[in-house]
Amino acid sequence: MTDAIGLQTLEQALNALTTRVSSLREAKSAYPADPRSTLDAALAELDTARELLDASVRELRKAPKRSGERESGSQRELKLLRQVFRTFPIPVVVLDASGVVRRISAETSRMLGSPAGYLIGRSFPLFVDVSRRAAFRSHLTAVQQGGQTATLQTRLAHQGRAHTVQLAVTRLTMPGEPQEMIAVMILPLEAQVAGPPPGPADRSDATLVMAAARRQELLARMTRLLLDEESLRQPVTVTRASRLLAAEQADWVIADVVRDGMPRRACVLGPSDKPVTQLVRLAEGMNPLTAPAIAHVLTGGSGVVHEMLEDDGLLGDVPAGPPLLRVMGAASMLIVPIGGEDGVLGALTLVRLRDREPFSLADLGLMEEIGAHLGLALRARRSFQTRSRAADALRTSVVPRSLPDIPGFEAAAIYNAGSSPVGAEFYDVFRAGEGWGFALGGAAGKGEEAASVSAMVRNGLRVLSVWETDPGEVMRKLNQALTAQDNGMFVMAVTGFVKARKIRLASAGHHPAALLRPDGGVRFTAGGGVPLGIAPEAEMFTEELALTSGQTLVFYSDGLVASRNELGESYGETRLADVLARCVAQSPAEIVKTVEEDRHAFSGGRVWDEIVILALRVV
């Protein structure tokens, strides 16, 4: 069929071709074990389709209608021929010299899962498998220059559909086109469909609503993940977010974070069902700034989406190798900034392979929102870390890391901060003149201000004890300093100076200490007094104890005796005395542990205020 034919003859030949193609499809389904004969016949029909297409083009080359003239018979035939092209039973695509789609048949759109006209203006080689893309471009050039038909077996992929096909590429001269065109006829040999055609192929209200719901669900899951306490405490925020995106949105996820002013690769995740470990390691070692697309997002601060990748160098080249995107087999990519008020904090790169639906503008909008949320989470974590370090520093200023050895005594302490991030209770054991000193107490209130006042009192006790031998005098001078500041804070404290086996105590509004004797008896010291910082002439209660071997002095904070059970009953000093009476043979470390365990059981594990217990035993 080499000469131009009449429209009626063309229509008859087209109808016959449609019937034969339908029969071949039925034969392929009925006899899957014998594909060879069906394939040979299909290739023959592909040649017939090419000849029919040539004949159609020659008909289309007839002179078009001039402006102002009534539609002639030839013009009516031209419209009919265009309709014939759209309904051609074999997928056909017409390309320009650069490989861009100019016309596409309805059968091609159906096969690729796109609405009519959606693929016009796209580069057709982007649908071709990466491994055969260069070969297709070479065939395309050879056909343009030599005019001979070329055939190529490859895979086409789009919208989650992958087809193994035989392509026939031939040159055309189209009416009204200044340059020669290329016709590509497609013979599907095998198709793999990942699911119902997604994306632009289905724009029903129900589908759009479901897509919006899925995006909202992903955003909600991401928000819950970023607000999790572990994400604030540990450096796992970016990795956890990347894992969720790799599971839900992409085949490859690359996260880059700006640290010390420079972008650094934080995470690379590849397809879990493919052997990509080596490629992941290569990508992890690449500098983000060598990827032009990532560098553009980091400097520009706005996201980009490449629905179909034309430049496989956008993510740079693997070391001494080809472009990273080519090795990945990438078909679609989007990159969004990790937002920050003071600039971009990083970038998220998502890549999809050829057997998945390409990224869309809706995906870009969703990912930009997630990038903004991730930026908020990173700032929150940095702020949390700063405050945590400050809290640790304050806690260190009120609670010693370890207790020194006091000659002739054993000492042990326990501290339970409970729900308080910054403690206001303190305890200490320190050198005091020719002997030793100890102290326990806390500022009224919670938070950083209370902790700083407690730290000042603790350090003041240490400093004043260098010159003063009387703990009461030390407390009076601290009281004068606190009242002079007039900050409204007051401190309950008890301190004691140890010399040989004698202990001189001074109390400023603190609970009395419990003295445990070797016979199991328990008595409480005087305690009491006026808290520091209330009045310039505060009253201190002082007492001197002469201890004997085996006696243990136990100090405790208000948080211990004020602990309550589910009935609202206080732990109290009576219960404390009963517990201590059972600790006669125990060491100070065992005593403080026993008391805390009993309090924990009494209150059901609840802690409202900080708990401090300090025990000193004469050996």
DSSP structure string for 487-526: -S--EEEEEEEEETTEEEEEEESBPPPEEE-TTS-EEE--
pLDDT (average), residues 15-40? 66
In 105-180 the beta strands, taken as DSSP E runs, fall at 150-158, 161-172
- Tracing tokens 């879990």 back to the chain, one arrives at 272
What 3-state class would DSSP assign to 206? Answer: helix
Q: Using one digit for the tens of pLDDT, what is the confidence trace for 393-403?
A: 545 555 677 88
CA distances from 335 to 302, 313, 596 (A): 9, 14, 54
pLDDT confidence tier of residue 585, bands split at 50, 70 and 90: confident
Residue 88 · residue 49 · CB < 8 Å: yes
pLDDT (average), residues 569-592? 94
Residue 408 · residue 502 · CB < 8 Å: no
What is the predicted pLDDT for the residue at 154?
A: 87
Strand partners, 187: 166
* Residue 420 predicted with pLDDT over 90: no
Burial track 115-146 (b if 16+ CB lie within 10 A, e otherwise): eeebbeebbbbbbbbbebbeebeebbeebbee
Pairing label, strands 330-338, 101-104: unpaired
What is the predicted pLDDT for the residue at 200?
A: 46
**Among 19-23, 68-72, 204-208, whose mean pLDDT is lowest?**
68-72
More confident residue, 211 or 616: 616
> Residue 31: how many CB atoms within 10 A of its CB?
11
What is the predicted pLDDT for the residue at 440?
A: 94
Burial track 266-297 (b if 16+ CB lie within 10 A, e otherwise): bbbbbbeeeebeebbebbeebebeebebbbeb
Query: How buried is residue 83: exposed, middle or buried, by Cβ count under 10 Å (0-12/13-18/19+)?
Result: exposed
Burial track 214-249 (b if 16+ CB lie within 10 A, e otherwise): ebeebeeebeebbeeeebbeeebbbebbbebbbeeb
Q: Using one digit for the tens of pLDDT, what is the confidence trace for 242-279?
A: 999 999 889 999 999 998 889 999 999 999 888 999 99
Q: Which two tokens stand for residue 285?
A: 């070692």
What is the predicted pLDDT for the residue at 526?
A: 84
What is the predicted pLDDT for the residue at 384?
A: 60
The type of residue at 616 is L
Burial track 334-343 (b if 16+ CB lie within 10 A, e otherwise): bbbbbbbeee
pLDDT (average), residues 402-409? 88
More confident residue, 394 or 179: 179
More confident residue, 186 or 113: 186
pLDDT (average), residues 90-117? 83
Q: Rounded to an integer, what distance in angstroms lies between the CA atom of residue 424 and that of residue 194?
A: 61
Q: Rounded to an integer, what distance in angstroms lies between the CA atom of residue 208 and that of residue 146?
A: 47
CA-based radius of gyration for the chain = 41
Most confident of 62-66, 401-405, 446-450, 542-546: 542-546
Q: Which candidate, 528, 516, 589, 609, places its Cα nearest to that of 554? A: 516
Q: Using one digit for the tens of pLDDT, what is the confidence trace for 481-527?
A: 888 888 778 899 999 999 888 999 999 999 999 999 999 999 999 88
Q: Which two tokens stand for residue 520?
A: 């199991």
**Among 242-246, 352-356, 418-422, whose mean pLDDT is lowest?**
418-422
Residue 150 · residue 180 · CB < 8 Å: no
Q: Rounded to an integer, what distance in angstroms lies between the CA atom of residue 73 and that of residue 176?
A: 18
CA distances from 488 to 443, 485, 553 (A): 11, 8, 32
Mean pLDDT over the full length of the chain: 81
What is the predicted pLDDT for the residue at 72?
A: 55
More confident residue, 307 or 27: 307
**Among 76-80, 188-192, 580-584, 593-597, whose mean pLDDT is lowest?**
76-80
